[in-house]
């Protein structure tokens, strides 16, 4: 499953960024093959508005199937859901650590937005 983790930097050792639309990078790992790549999200990090929507749209275009993040607002949630992307919420840790938790089935799928927009 192509899984994108919201990250504060471009690698597996970067910290999980709890923000979805305004994280600086996504580390995308195919949990089946172990292949990984990085999506630079700087354009949305600096967007004046609609960061969550644009970010979700972009992930959909990139063929991402699941997202691991700290929090997810209502607009981003709506787009991710429409795109069929599953959302998992994690606490603190590195990208590698939360991916490990995800593979062990320790992360729960979010049933809805867990924060209002512009929470951070």
Partner 1 sequence: MATGLTVAVASGKGGTGKTTVSTNLALAAAAAGDEVAYADCDVEEPNGHLFLKPRIDRRRKVYVPVPRVDPEKCTACGTCAEICRFGAIAVVAGQVMTFESMCHGCGGCLLACPVQAIEESGREIGVVEEGSSDGVAFTHGRLNVGEAMSPPLIREVRYAANGPAIIDAPPGTSCPVITAVRGADFVLLVTDPTPFGLHDLRLTLDMVRELGLPHAVVVNRSVPGNRLARDFCLDLGVSLLAEIPDDRRVAAAYSRGETAFGTVPGYREHFAGLWKAVKREAGWR
**Residue ranges that bind partner 1, judged by CB under 8 A:** 47, 49-50, 53-54, 56-57, 60, 75, 78-79, 82-84
Which residues, listed in sequence order, are joined to residue 7 by a DSSP beta bridge? Answer: 16, 25
Nearer to partner 1, 15 or 75 (CB): 75
User: Which residues, 6 or more positions from 55, have their beta carbon under 8 angstroms from its beta carbon?
Assistant: 20, 21, 23, 41, 44, 76
**Shortest Å distance, C-beta 47 to partner 1:** 7
* CA–CA dist 110, 20 (Å, integer): 13
**Shortest Å distance, C-beta 48 to partner 1:** 9
**Shortest Å distance, C-beta 53 to partner 1:** 5
* CA–CA dist 94, 49 (Å, integer): 28
Nearer to partner 1, 62 or 120 (CB): 62
């Amino acid at each position: 499953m192509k899984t994108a983790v919201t990250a504060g930097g471009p690698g597996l050792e970067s910290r999980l960024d709890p923000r979805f639309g305004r994280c600086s990078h996504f580390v995308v790992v195919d949990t089946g093959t172990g292949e990984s790549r990085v999506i630079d999200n700087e354009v949305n990090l600096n967007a004046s508005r609609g960061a969550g929507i644009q970010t979700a749209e972009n992930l959909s275009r990139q063929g991402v199937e699941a997202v691991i993040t700290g929090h997810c607002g209502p607009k981003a949630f709506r787009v991710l859901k429409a795109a069929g992307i599953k959302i998992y919420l994690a606490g603190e840790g590195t990208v590698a650590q939360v991916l490990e938790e995800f593979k062990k089935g320790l992360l729960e799928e979010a049933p809805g937005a867990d924060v209002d927009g512009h929470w951070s």
